[in-house]
Amino acid sequence: MKQDFGRVAVLMGGTSGEREVSLNSGGGVLAALKSQGVDAHAFDPASEPLDALKAFQRVFIALHGGYGENGAIQGALEIMGIPYTGPGVMASAIGMDKFRTKLIWQAVGLPVPEYAMLDDDSEFDAVEKRFGLPLFVKPACEGSSLGVFMVTKPGELKSAYASARHYGNLIMAEKGVMGGEYTVGILGDEALPIVKIEPATAFYDFEAKYLRDDTHYICPADLSPAKTAEIQAGAKKAFDAIGATGWGRVDFLMDEAGQHYFLEVNTAPGMTSHSLVPMAARQAGLSFEALCVKILAEARCG
């Protein structure tokens, strides 16, 4: 099968705020594929014309944020007729938009944290009173926790909103759900073992994700078998609801009473040394190299 892949481009880098993370992910994927005999090559769309991808038979998307995850690169590859990894155009576009993802999840009966969309005319004090503290402010169309701010004191919401606006125009406030942070990797039709995330920081921010070595991960998470099965089924439903296929990751939160709330979906998860899907795959008996080959084998066009 490895020889059947032909010449493979590993898309990495790009121009989003997650460029450095993408380069790390892409470098790991590239090395893994080469170690398995795949004819894989690095391709940075920030410095190479997309038209050059016509020289490849498959594409492994290791771009994070921006056009790497919002459906744009997926659409370009479909126009060129090149199979690529991960969800398609529609699912990628929806998944990059936390607001519209939540609307779909609510429509199919999945639990999500309480939220409100903010603008310059919002009644910030009323939102604070409605949700209580802490609460979170975030751009709806960014990843890797870029532009996410935790509000812990009364009167801070307005300034947090102003800071988040530097990362995008669509900003949401979200009720703090503080009983634990978790994630579920999706690989094909399978939900992988759940990972519990215990950051040393106040929450799982960019620094905790990529720069610190004191973030603690528990895989499989310390949940009952029944709760694990319930959440894995819900995560797969959440993934399917936005039309996603291939592979991805669904994050969720737990409150102090043990109720879970689905937070967001990642349609191009990280593949770095700190990344969560490779961690869950290892628990399921799949090495990093085997995971990369399996994802590549599922590449499709449209």
Burial classification of residue 119, based on how many CB atoms lie within 10 Å of its CB (0-12 exposed, 13-18 middle, 19 or more buried): exposed
Active site residue 210: yes
Active site residue 251: yes
Q: Which one of the listed residues 128, 156, 181, 264 is annotated catalytic?
A: 264
Helix (H) or strand (E) holding 103: helix 98-107
Active site residue 20: no
Q: Which one of the listed residues 16, 22, 70, 266 is annotated catalytic?
A: 266
User: Do 66 and 15 meet the contact criterion of CB atoms below 8 Å apart?
Assistant: yes
Q: Which one of the listed residues 25, 251, 261, 275 is annotated catalytic?
A: 251
For residues 215 and 172, what is the distance between their CA atoms, to the nearest angstrom?
A: 26
Active site residue 266: yes
Active site residue 264: yes
Q: Which one of the listed residues 16, 18, 28, 66 is annotated catalytic?
A: 18
Active site residue 230: no
Of 92, 116, 56, 115, nearest to 239 (Cα)?
Answer: 92
Active site residue 249: yes
The residues, ordered by sequence, that sit 6+ positions from 277 with a Cβ below 8 Å of its Cβ are: 185, 187, 192, 247, 249, 269, 270, 271, 291
Q: Which one of the listed residues 84, 210, 248, 275 is annotated catalytic?
A: 210
Of 61, 148, 53, nearest to 98 (Cα)?
Answer: 148
User: Do 294 and 83 meet the contact criterion of CB atoms below 8 Å apart?
Assistant: no
Q: Which one of the listed residues 67, 205, 249, 261 is annotated catalytic?
A: 249
Q: Which one of the listed residues 19, 144, 180, 182 is annotated catalytic?
A: 144
Active site residue 114: no
Catalytic residues: 18, 144, 210, 249, 251, 264, 266, 270
